[in-house]
Structure 1
Amino acid sequence: MRSRRLDYSESTRSALVDSAVELFTKRGYAGTSLDEIAKRARVTKGALYHHFSGKQALFEAAFDQVESLVYDRLDKIMTGEGTPWERALGGLNAFIRACLDPAYQRIAIHEAPVVMGWERWREAEERCSFGLVRSGLQSLIDAGEVEPVPVEVTARLLFGALSSAATEIASSPDPKKVGAEIEDVIVRMLVRLRRTEPDVSIG
């Protein structure tokens, strides 16, 4: 049996993180105070400090929530139905759409490298996304959909391209247009890796 105290504690933390995501998205890290976050979450400042050591810790929790939502969406596509090629294209499209989301743009792309530091942000991004890129590429190779390229190196190049794409989309005055252009370019790159003839060694 779960205790009421534990349920209340978890709901309080969740309310704080939700409030932080909303305010950091609207006003950015520098423009948001802990008092505002606590007020919006309808909890006391003391309750906030019970869960988080300070503003940066709360920002990192907001970052984790935003990243986790995107990761879960992509993971569901990349491990779902369809051929590896269809899943790869579906995952790419979902990633481009995630880059259009204001919360992901502001928190994960614009603010996180500054607040967390570039190295920690990059490590967090790799933990969330790089594994999906690598496993997706490996699935394409195993299925004979693309030429057998070096997985680690190629995955890192693709991951770097996607990271740059996210920044370009988030920084553009017309994110939808840039997102569509980037998706088209990356698909063209992947098509160049496709096998022109079936691999008779697979089957």
Structure 2
Amino acid sequence: MSQTYSDRTASPASTAAAADFPARRALLDVVLDVFTERGYSNASVTEIAARSGTAVGNLLHHYGGKRGLYLALWEEFQEEQERRTAAVVAEARGKGVEDPIALFVAGARAYLEGAWEQRRIGRLLLENDGPTGFDAVRRQWDRCWVRRNAKLLRVDETRRAGRVRVTLLTSVIGGAARELADCADTAEAREIVEEVCGILAHLSEPPG
């Protein structure tokens, strides 16, 4: 379940990642507020700059514009999910868990819990109102995600059957994360997480 971005294409937002973290976090909170309130198409860098107390030129320099700010939100969310899942898997291994399915489900649970906690970003992504080319960025990340899950499950993804199985499992997690974005409350979210983890445990068993 743990993923890395070692093979992703860098975006303008990546160059801003080294900026002061508290300032970046505060800026991205404003970006999320504006995109949530206005939608991506109707949001403006000018409003983001005004509400964050940042010069427009500074935003353009570091992020390249509205698209870069959107991608920065996406990257921040995915990187936090990576840290969360990697920590949970590492903790399980430290306790002696070696079963790949148990490790995979533990990571999936952490990812889904993170999706619930960060549901505002999930709702924004569900709007299908992102920048041009974002679908390609998401597909690239999904391919990386499948590869990492295959490694965790010890599945040979060079074989079609193995690749299809891991792709299916990864799709289940992604679909559940989208459902969590629309949950009414924590109780409903927990019910979904438990249901999905049970499904993943069942589907992860190798055939035969």
Q: TM-score, normalised by structure 2?
A: 0.67
Q: Is residue 41 of structure 1 aligned with residue 56 of structure 2?
A: no
Classify 1:49/1:122 alpha carbon distance in 2 versus 1 (closer, same or farther; 3 Å): closer
SS at match of 2:40: coil
Shift, 1:24, TM fit: 2.8
**CA offsets 1:56-104 (integer angstroms, 9 cap, x no match):** 1211112111111112211222344331444323212212212212333
**Following the alignment from structure 2 to structure 1, what is the Cα–Cα distance between the partners of residues 51 and 145?**
31
Report what 2:120 is aligned to: 103
Higher relative contact order (CA 8 A, sep 6+): 2
**Following the alignment from structure 1 to structure 2, what is the Cα–Cα distance between the partners of residues 70 and 62?**
12
Report what 1:90 is aligned to: 106
Report what 2:130 is aligned to: 115
Q: Which amino acid aligns with 1:105?
A: G
Shift, 1:182, TM fit: 5.0
Shift, 1:163, TM fit: 1.7
**Following the alignment from structure 1 to structure 2, what is the Cα–Cα distance between the partners of residues 175 and 118?**
30
Report what 2:150 is aligned to: 134
**Following the alignment from structure 1 to structure 2, what is the Cα–Cα distance between the partners of residues 99 and 60?**
17
Which one of the candidate residues 164, 188, 191 is aligned to 1:153? 164
Q: Is residue 166 of structure 1 aligned with residue 166 of structure 2?
A: no
Q: Is residue 187 of structure 1 aligned with residue 183 of structure 2?
A: no
**Following the alignment from structure 2 to structure 1, what is the Cα–Cα distance between the partners of residues 137 and 40?**
15
Moved more, 123-132 or 156-165: 123-132
| Aligned length, in residue pairs | 179
SS at match of 1:43: coil
Report what 1:75 is aligned to: 86
**Following the alignment from structure 1 to structure 2, what is the Cα–Cα distance between the partners of residues 61 and 193?**
33
**Following the alignment from structure 1 to structure 2, what is the Cα–Cα distance between the partners of residues 80 and 70?**
15
**Following the alignment from structure 1 to structure 2, what is the Cα–Cα distance between the partners of residues 188 and 52?**
40
Q: TM-score, normalised by structure 1?
A: 0.68
Unpaired runs of at least 5, structure 2: 1-15
**Following the alignment from structure 2 to structure 1, what is the Cα–Cα distance between the partners of residues 38 and 82?**
24
Classify 1:28/1:76 alpha carbon distance in 2 versus 1 (closer, same or farther; 3 Å): farther
Classify 1:66/1:124 alpha carbon distance in 2 versus 1 (closer, same or farther; 3 Å): farther
Percent identical: 24
Classify 1:76/1:151 alpha carbon distance in 2 versus 1 (closer, same or farther; 3 Å): farther
Q: Is residue 10 of structure 1 aligned with residue 25 of structure 2?
A: no
Q: Which amino acid aligns with 1:44?
A: A
Unpaired runs of at least 5, structure 1: 1-6, 143-148, 196-203
**CA offsets 1:25-63 (integer angstroms, 9 cap, x no match):** 455424532122112332211211222322112111121
Report what 1:60 is aligned to: 71
